[in-house]
Chain A
Amino acid sequence: MAGSPEKYKDRKKIQIKINDEDLTVPEGITILESAHEVGVKIPTLCHLDLHDLQLYNKTASCRVCMVELVDGGNQNRNKLVPACVTKAYEGMTIRTDTLRAINARRMAVELLLSNHPNECFTCPKNLECELQALAEELNVREIRWEGERMDYPKDFSSDAIVKDSNKCIYCRRCETGCNEIQTCGILSGIGRGFNAFVGPFANIPMVESSCTYCGQCVQVCPTAALTEVYHVDKVWEALNDPDKHVIVQTAPAIRVALGELFGMEAGTIVTGKMVTALKRMGFDAVFDTDFGADLTIMEEASELIYRIKNNKTLPILTNCCPAWVKFIEHQFPELLHVPSTCKSPHIMFGTIAKTYYAEKNGIDPDNIVVVSIMPCIAKKAEAKRPELTKDEHNNVDIVITTRELGAMIKEAGIEFNSLPDSEFDRPLGETTGASVIFGTAGGVIEAAIRTAYEWMTGETLENVEFEQLRGMEGVRKATVRIGDQDLKIGIASGLGNARVILEEIRDGKADYHAIEIMACPGGCIGGGGQPYHHGNHEIVKKRREAIYEEDRRKKIRKSHENQEILELYREYLGEPFGELAHKLLHTHFEERERI
């Protein structure tokens, strides 16, 4: 009973038999959930159970988990049932290893392959594809039927997500994620029968939809029906252009996930190896988005204090997450005055690179290429937003994901696992523990509080770890005592949870001072651009532990003690939240249509 999911814990116990093994299970449990307790693995494809997120995809549409229900010795009455949705009852007898069951499972995959584009070699999901893995696992050696293929054009319309409906196997995981977890409702099954696929309203190009590009659909798609826009070639091109000064910045959540792409344990911290790899790839300077994060805190904490002191709009909402920003623009345009006006950390970094850094080093900003490595797909679209490209220079030129960086390191023939550690370059490379925790839900607000506390009270904050701001639940409410004031903090990760908080604000029921929102469940560590977790949320939890570990290792753990940041203000920006800071580091939002 050890492995039974929590949700069945108060149920009556019943006896069942799987492959001759007797088993006591709680009533209501599915065959799939019971089988692994007796060492039986039942393959799945459409099924998805991310119980931490309350994300369950139970369409039972792929038929890859068929098992045989054995009925009291009368073989003719045996029937095949899908294990993922068939519930156990007293005396149930199941066989997963009969020829009939094995053939049924293999045939289900064979049929899916009979009209699937036969291009694994060049597919962006090659070796990451769950359909491909099943073909191997179920020993498919022949595809006996050649089906008619779907022939929909690929949708390259957005700057973030590529939709290739011909590879859609109609498992509808993306739809469940988009509708139930993120409550965006962008994706739905379209049409019926053979030509059915998942897409947006009226099958409009993704760019015309209200998609936030959070990438959670990409994260759960078993095939390459939904993938990120690939920007690796652009980076290589820039690196090989002798006239360009190419600098790279890495988001906090990258360093605790990149190792997974090289066979390392989830949660391995590979900051030093990552920096070495980037230097070997030929970047002129390797910097850290954490620097941008510290800068964000300087501005955001100032803005929070300004709003509190001057009775301005409260709560303040953090806006480091571009998917979340797009969500509020489409879904709650009446609340656009609530978020902080700060640019996101990597965009701030880009701005500083093309102004302060360019001047300091005598480099023409036109020749600087800023590459951001992000755990995120939405950052690709963010970097293309007109207001962030309208000045003379793009704030950020190219955004690639953790996965794309992994692909580049492999392409370059770098043996990542045996690399020595290196340090980030200076002066935009000094970072603090506060900026590292941006990578996990609750981190931005904790970092802001570390600074706001000292600024508001004038006292030194001894214990910088605010346990009340940490946790994996979707919505967290906490109070932090600062001097004689209680600050009420809200934290939401996952856009469905964000919606709950936004509705409270809109209806005047909220009394928060500050709220952090991240579009992806768990924050950036669970981002759409991270190595695929293939439905295993434990991976995301381990990344989270690693983020806090990296924070503990830092000597400086408060953003306002970052010496390079202080120097930047002294030499260039002036006061935090001052005139030049406002011009360079703040932005605005706009109302967008909801489709």
Chain B
Amino acid sequence: MTKPQTISVTKPVSEDLPEEKFNELESFIDHLETTKGALIEILHKAQDIFGYLPRDVQLYIARKLGIPGAEVFGVVSFYSYFTTKPRGKHTLSICMGTACFVRGADKVIEKFKEKLGVESNEITEDGLFTLRDVRCIGACGLAPVVTVGDKVYGRVKEEDIDEIIKAYRG
């Protein structure tokens, strides 16, 4: 473990990364009892706040904690939960667990890709959806399952897809 280093930290504020969000993150970090071993927790919080972990946010966290940027990036790149690309307004996840898969999740995701014009982990042009394929989410009785944000759609068939998209696009 590299020794923490004290350096001056400035917030790399930009149009997409407003000061309030940095303030919220800073306040979160300042209120932690210790930052030792807290990097993953901080990254979770940062991703909650910003929606993703852009380069400037990662560097801000590194400088705030006095650890190398490479170390922060090492952790971000290790866990698939963390994303360095912006997310759409809604995360549209298709469960690719065994039960969902055998009941046609592969066809469902292909249809979503076609309708939304994106691949997995990409954001739609209108910024509304990020499409994700995820591991089993534990709702096997409803297979195949699609979630949009907190909302769960069960026993999804290819012909339901337009309806689901429409509910968010209006």
* Residues of chain A whose beta carbon lies under 8 Å from any beta carbon of chain B: 179-180, 183-192, 199-203, 331, 499, 594-595
Contact = CB atoms under 8 A, between A and B. Distances in A.
A58 to B, nearest CB: 13
Contacts of A594: 7, 63
B71 A191 contact: no
Contacts of A187: 70
Given A179-B2, A180-B2, A183-B3, A188 B68 contact: yes
Interface string B119-157: 000000000000000000000000000000000000000
B35 interface: no
Nearest to B8: A334
Contacts of A201: 58-59, 62, 68-70, 72-73
A189 B68 contact: no
A195 to B, nearest CB: 10
B73 A185 contact: no
Nearest to A334: B8
Interface residues of B, number: 20
B37 interface: no
A255 B62 CA distance: 42
A48 B11 CA distance: 39
Interface of B: 2-3, 5, 7, 55, 58-59, 62-63, 67-74, 77-78, 84
B74 A189 contact: yes
Contact of A183 (B2, B55, B72, B73): B2
Contacts of B2: 179-180, 183, 185
Contacts of A192: 77-78
Nearest to B79: A192
A202 B55 contact: yes
Nearest to B63: A594
Contacts of B78: 189, 191-192
A172 to B, nearest CB: 10
Contact of A185 (B69, B77, B84): B69
Given A594-B7, A595-B59, A200 B77 contact: no
Given A180-B2, A192-B78, A202 B58 contact: yes
B129 to A, nearest CB: 26
A203 B7 CA distance: 23
Nearest to B72: A201
A185 B58 contact: no
Contacts of A499: 5
Contacts of A200: 70
B8 to A, nearest CB: 9
B70 A186 contact: yes
B69 to A, nearest CB: 4
A185 B71 contact: yes
